[in-house]
Amino acid sequence: MPEHDATDLPLVTLDPPGSRDLDQAMHLGRRDGGYRVSYAIADVAAFVQPDGALDGECWDRGVTVYCPDLRVPLHPEVICEAAGSLLPGQNRPAVLWQIDLADSGEVVDVSVRRAVVRSTAQLDYPNVQSTVDTESAHPSLALLPEIGALRLALARQRHAIELNLPDQEVVSDSAGGWTVMFRTQLPVEIWNAQISLLTGMCAARLMLQAGVGVLRTLPPAAEEDVARLRALAPMLGIDWPDGTPVGDVLDGLTPGFGAHAAFLDEAGTLLRGAGYASFDGEPPEQPLHAAVAAEYAHVTAPLRRLVDRFGSEICLAQSAGVPVPGWVRAG
């Protein structure tokens, strides 16, 4: 276990109902002039030996694959659903981010270190939304609507592209087969995603400062795709004033309204070509994630995504002022 004990921090997890692979736990608090986001990420490196047999299998799998009736995990269930998962009431090794925000939601300071943490509650989206609606949210998440709204406002200032499409869920039907159901995202899911995006943006900055990293990138939309979407707008009764960025147009739409949902679905064609750009020295020629409208990296889901383990190690080293481990650079 890490030397630093942060078990006094009242972290909570927030996931879909029934989740067992709990990558993140958070606590949101106020500080002079703004907010403090404490975000614990499962420390998979505590269980996976570099270049060992398990590491090799993780490289073969890359990510957890979710199917309607089964799940093929990146890591053995004894890690991803037990020893490594941030289950409530259990001491766990974690990568603990501390992100200080101004009252505008802008980042003013970031640090990350290894710590022992203990989640105090396992919460899910529907129940948290209900408590937010009744002004009885868990104290650790009471500021989520406030911080989430600030981060969304900053995303609009960057002209980020937020589709917020309904979730597609494959479920069994009464005939013994399968069908697709659509579910509009709850506000709490959108706010929660902003905390993850915030952490990923901070991670990218640390990587660029370190001169080594792996960024999640997305090229800007092709002009012909934007033109095609613009031509579609009046057909669906959507106003797109001249000079307005596409992200601003999308931000004003309602995903639950038919014409808007169709337009948002078509807007997904703007987000093609996502990939990873690793670097050791000069940063990538195109370092941005066009949808985020900023540099961005994956570090918040290491139980389900291989690259996050490497990203976390780079950020830990940069924050501590020590060299990035050789096995990370070699990876």
| Res 158: pLDDT | 95
Average pLDDT of the segment spanning 165-188: 86
C-alpha–C-alpha distance, residues 314 and 119, integer Å:
25
Whose structure tokens read 């706010």? 191
Does residue 200 lie within any of the structural domains?
Answer: yes
> Average pLDDT for residues 286-300, to the nearest whole number?
97
DSSP, collapsed to helix, strand or coil, labels residue 228 as helix
Q: Does residue 312 form part of some domain?
A: yes
Q: What CA–CA distance (Å, rounded) separates 35 from 103?
A: 7
pLDDT at 168 over 90: no
Q: How far is CA 148 from CA 108, 143, 153, 166, in A?
A: 16, 8, 9, 19
Look at residue 116 and give its three-state secondary structure: strand
- Does the residue 19 lie in any domain? yes
Quote the number of domains for the chain: 1
Residue 91 has pLDDT above 90, yes or no: yes
Residue 159 in domain: yes
**Does residue 244 fall inside a structural domain?**
no
Domain limits for position 123: 12-219+273-330
| For residue 165, pLDDT beyond 90 | no
Report whether pLDDT(164) > 90.
no
pLDDT at 204: 98
- Cα 123 from Cα 138, distance rounded (Å): 9
Average pLDDT, whole number, for the chain?
A: 95
| Cα 118 from Cα 7, distance rounded (Å) | 5
Dump pLDDT digits (tens) for 58-90. Answer: 999 999 998 888 889 999 999 999 999 999 999
pLDDT tens, residue by residue, 99-129:
999 999 999 999 999 999 999 999 999 999 9
Amino acid residing at 214? V
Q: Is residue 265 a part of any domain in this protein?
A: no
The token duo for 127 is 């129940």
Domain for residue 248, yes or no?
Answer: no
Question: Which pLDDT value is given to residue 331?
Answer: 78
What is the pTM (predicted TM-score) of this model? 0.94
End-to-end, the C-alpha distance of the chain in Å comes to 24
pLDDT at residue 234 tops 90: yes
Strands 24-31 and 34-42: antiparallel
| Exposure of 317 in the CB half-sphere (CA atoms within 13 A) | 21
1 lies in some domain: no
